[in-house]
């Protein structure tokens, strides 16, 4: 962990910031980063400055731009080093190219991890569907999987797999849908025969390949999420 620094500046504490930035500060008490103390903070609570850098020059100047940091993903990586790796994976949200920022999904100034107030599944999903409107439904036939969050199937930072999927094969689906193999070698999933000597599974591909369950997010026409 290496909080950002500003040459010549020292820590003043978050309470100083609130005199001019009450609009930001008033929601900050329950934010994850409000608990941070930067080194050399002289026991003042330095939550704001853990991302924005030490604020003495900014305060002295009456708050001019250029005296305080405007954090980018690089600032976040100073403490969340492993996230740089996730966002360089072949399938990831476009942070590296600058098309998105961490704050599109994380509010740094209030509450827990995810924008719109909290780590609850509803909050996670609604923060995804504000950009990905079509995956949010409503559908005539919902796939109940999404009630547990988009993140049961996707890692929103990035993965090696296409579409940021957590698994590239049927293991993605079998985490919830139990697969049974009978003594005669037939394979049942969801109470229906899927494989054996012949059957869907011998086609290869994934559960969501063409002709199978293409409508993984939900369907308007097919209760078995075929299309």
Residue 2's closest CA among 29, 45, 40?
40
Asked if 201 contacts 195 with a C-beta cutoff of 8 angstroms, the reply is yes
Least spacing, CB of residue 182 vs ligand HEC, in Å: 19
Taking CB under 6 A as the binding criterion, the range among 17-25, 179-187, 194-202 that sits at the site for ligand HEC is 17-25
Among 9, 57, 105, 110, binds ligand HEC (CB under 6 A): 105
d(CA 117, CA 119): 7
Among 44, 152, 187, 201, binds ligand HEC (CB under 6 A): 152
Long-range contacts of 137-140, Cβ-Cβ distance < 8 Å, separation of 24 or more: 137/217, 137/218, 138/218, 139/217, 139/218, 139/219, 139/220, 140/218, 140/219, 140/220, 140/221
Among 9, 57, 110, 172, binds ligand HEC (CB under 6 A): 172
d(CA 55, CA 66): 11
Interactions with ligand HEC, residue window 194-213 (CB under 6 A) = 207-208, 213
Which residues are within 8 A (CB) of 200 and not within 5 positions of it... i.e. 6 or more apart? 194, 212
CB atoms within 10 A of CB 198: 9
Least spacing, CB of residue 10 vs ligand HEC, in Å: 10
Among 6, 44, 79, 187, binds ligand HEC (CB under 6 A): 79
Contact map string, positions 114 to 133, toward ligand HEC, x by CB under 6 A: x---------xx-xxxxxx-
Among 96, 160, 176, 221, binds ligand HEC (CB under 6 A): 176
Least spacing, CB of residue 221 vs ligand HEC, in Å: 13
Q: How many residues does the chain have?
A: 227
Instruction: Establish how many alpha carbons lie within 13 A of residue 134's alpha carbon, considering only the half-sphere containing its beta carbon.
Output: 4
171 binds ligand HEC (CB under 6 A): no
Least spacing, CB of residue 125 vs ligand HEC, in Å: 5
Taking CB under 6 A as the binding criterion, the range among 178-186, 197-205, 218-226 that sits at the site for ligand HEC is 218-226
CA angle in degrees (0–180, nearest 5) for 174-176-181: 50
Residues contacting ligand HEC: total by CB under 6 A? 94
> Minimal CB distance to ligand HEC: which residue?
63
d(CA 18, CA 63): 12
Taking CB under 6 A as the binding criterion, the range among 45-53, 180-188, 195-203 that sits at the site for ligand HEC is 45-53
Closest to ligand HEC by CB, 151 or 186: 151
């Amino acid at each position: 962990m290496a909080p950002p620094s500003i040459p010549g500046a020292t820590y003043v504490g978050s309470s100083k910031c609130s005199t001019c930035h009450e609009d930001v500060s008033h929601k900050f008490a329950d934010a994850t980063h409000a608990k941070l103390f930067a080194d050399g903070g002289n026991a003042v609570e330095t939550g704001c400055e853990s991302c924005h850098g030490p604020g003495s020059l900014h305060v002295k100047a009456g708050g001019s731009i250029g005296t305080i940091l405007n954090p980018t993903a690089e600032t976040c990586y100073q403490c969340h080093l492993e996230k740089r790796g996730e966002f360089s994976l072949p399938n990831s949200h476009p942070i590296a190219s600058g098309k998105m920022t961490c704050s599109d999904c994380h509010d740094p100034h209030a509450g827990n991890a995810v924008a719109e107030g909290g780590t609850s599944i509803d909050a996670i999903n609604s923060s995804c569907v504000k950009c990905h409107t079509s995956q949010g439904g409503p559908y005539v036939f919902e796939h109940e999987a999404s009630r547990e969050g988009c993140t049961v199937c996707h890692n929103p930072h990035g993965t090696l797999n296409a579409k940021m999927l957590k698994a590239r094969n049927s293991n993605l689906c079998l985490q919830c849908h139990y697969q049974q193999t009978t003594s005669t070698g037939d394979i049942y999933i969801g109470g229906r025969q899927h494989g054996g000597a012949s059957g869907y599974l011998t086609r290869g591909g994934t559960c969501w390949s063409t002709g199978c369950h293409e409508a993984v997010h939900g369907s308007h026409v097919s209760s078995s999420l075929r299309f």
